[in-house]
Chains A and B, each alone.
Chain A
Amino acid sequence: MDAIELGIVALKCLVIVAVLLTGFAYTTFLERKVIARMQQRLGPNRAGPFGLLQPAADGVKLIFKENITPVGVDRFVYFLAPIVSMVVAIMAFAVMPVADPITVTIGGQVREIRFQLADFNVALLYVLGITSLAVYGLVLAGWASNNKFALIGGLRSAAQMVSYELAMGVALVSVVLVVGSLSMNDIVDWQVAKGLPLIVLQPVAFGIYAITAIAETNRAPFDFPEAEQELVAGYHTEYTGMRFALFFMAEYINMITVSGLAATLFLGGHHLPFVERFTGNLPWFVDIGVFLAKVILALFLFIWIRATIPRLRYDRLMAFGWKVLLPISLANLALTAVVIAFLAR
């Protein structure tokens, strides 16, 4: 790897972080606007045209807030937890392909630039592994805060995330079975080659993925870790100002990541599998637009669900994960395997 390549990688990382932060800011804005509309309100509309500067205003406000470190916290873990949450959220995005590669000439050398930080033959497992680490930020915050609400919130979130991770893992195995690879690019290319997004072939896996993704990101109706009415703010009860903002950031970046994963695995990624049969391959900037549109659609669904469905009861939530989603995903896997075995023979 030479200096120019390293520079390209650093630039990509910078873009990923910048885009995720902007995405985070405007996802919160979108959420407030959409939910306001669904509740016949206007939502934020004072800061800038249509309230578009609201996220910036919120950010500035949070920076100038007083940070309270309550007595009895485990200082090291208390400060570490929000950083862990956010780092994990950002890392998971690394393998997401956003557009077709382009070739450019830099200093007389022809280089291929991929709109993706890294792709390897265990990419899907990498994403699962990284998201399974997300639980630490929550548990550690809950434990370090020296607060009963925070501890219960952290524990609940851990139990919930692990329970839903299983069903998600099994559901994604069905995708791997169909495609025969764990590389993100292979999965996208397969969908383009067949001219079918995988959601058509694997609707059950998609459904399970969608439900578990909501649970993994701790969003309503699975937002137990921070169930306001019973646990105050759950694991981040004792966090203020920018420290709280890091948890907030992690939650929304996680939403963006699981949305991007849904787009990549089930909706054809940055391609339009069916349309491209007729139009041929689309240029890279259209690819980015397509990917973005799919992610925003998924984010809108997240928000819509939050505005529509009330929170579940905790015991129901656990039972749903273990007794409903897990068996269904296993049955779907068995069915997929049998069908493929018959077709492949």
Chain B
Amino acid sequence: MLADYAPLVVLLAFAVGLGVIVMGLAHFIGPRSPSPVKDQTYESGMTAIGGAQRRVPVRYYLIATLFILFDIEVIYLYPWAADFRNLVAKQGFGALGGMAVFLGILLVGYVYVWREGALEWD
């Protein structure tokens, strides 16, 4: 079974190799004549004001957290879907019920998050 995955390693080697070669080409072939003005970060032609590492709104954090939680939910859906016909044969509509409860509880969270305005982007 592991042999099924072995080709991925070979492809990874090829892809990384290509990336390194392209970056190497860029490094060795292109001309180079740095100057202090040219090397400034681009800010629409103006002198850059302050550093770029500024703090970002907390909203990004919230979106990422919600993404993790729903992503876990989606992961749970896959084995259920792959085995669904088998589960229906065993449990009848119980196969639906188990997942309905799971999704139902998460739906409560979804509605809460929506009503709290966490999905607004303003």
Contacts and interface: CB of A to CB of B under 8 A. Distances in A.
Interface of A: 1, 6, 9-10, 12-14, 16-17, 63-72, 79, 82-83, 86-87, 90-91, 94, 117-120, 124-125, 145-151, 155, 158-159, 162-163, 165-166, 169-170, 173-174, 176-177, 180-182, 232, 237-238, 241-243, 245-246, 314-315, 318-319, 322-323, 326, 330, 333-334, 337-338, 340-341, 344-345
A287 to B, nearest CB: 20
Interface residues of B, number: 69
Interface in B63-107: 63-64, 67, 70-71, 74, 77-78, 81-85, 88-89, 92-93, 95-96, 99-100, 103
A121 to B, nearest CB: 8
A72 B51 contact: yes
A90 B52 CA distance: 31
Contact of B22 (A1, A246, A341): A246
A117 B11 contact: yes
A87 B15 contact: yes
A341 B95 contact: yes
A175 B95 CA distance: 17
A185 to B, nearest CB: 12
Contacts of A170: 74, 77
A17 B14 contact: yes
Contacts of B58: none
Given A150-B52, A180-B85, A318 B119 contact: yes
Contacts of A337: 84, 96, 99
B3 interface: yes
Contacts of B19: 82-83, 86-87, 246
Contact of A86 (B15, B92, B96): B15
A117 B23 contact: no
B84 A148 contact: no
A344 B88 contact: yes
Contacts, number: 207
Interface residues of B, dominant DSSP: helix
Given A145-B41, A155-B60, A94 B7 contact: yes
Interface of B: 1, 3-8, 10-16, 18-20, 22-23, 25-27, 29-34, 38-44, 48, 51-54, 56, 60, 63-64, 67, 70-71, 74, 77-78, 81-85, 88-89, 92-93, 95-96, 99-100, 103, 114, 119-122
A151 B52 contact: yes
B119 A87 contact: no
A147 B42 contact: yes
Contacts of B42: 70, 147, 149, 232, 237-238
A14 B7 CA distance: 12
A2 to B, nearest CB: 11
Given A94-B8, A182-B82, A63 B43 contact: no
26 contacts: A1-B3, A17-B14, A64-B29, A67-B32, A71-B40, A72-B51, A82-B19, A82-B23, A87-B12, A87-B16, A91-B8, A117-B8, A159-B64, A162-B67, A165-B71, A173-B81, A181-B82, A238-B41, A242-B23, A242-B26, A246-B22, A318-B121, A330-B103, A340-B88, A341-B84, A344-B88
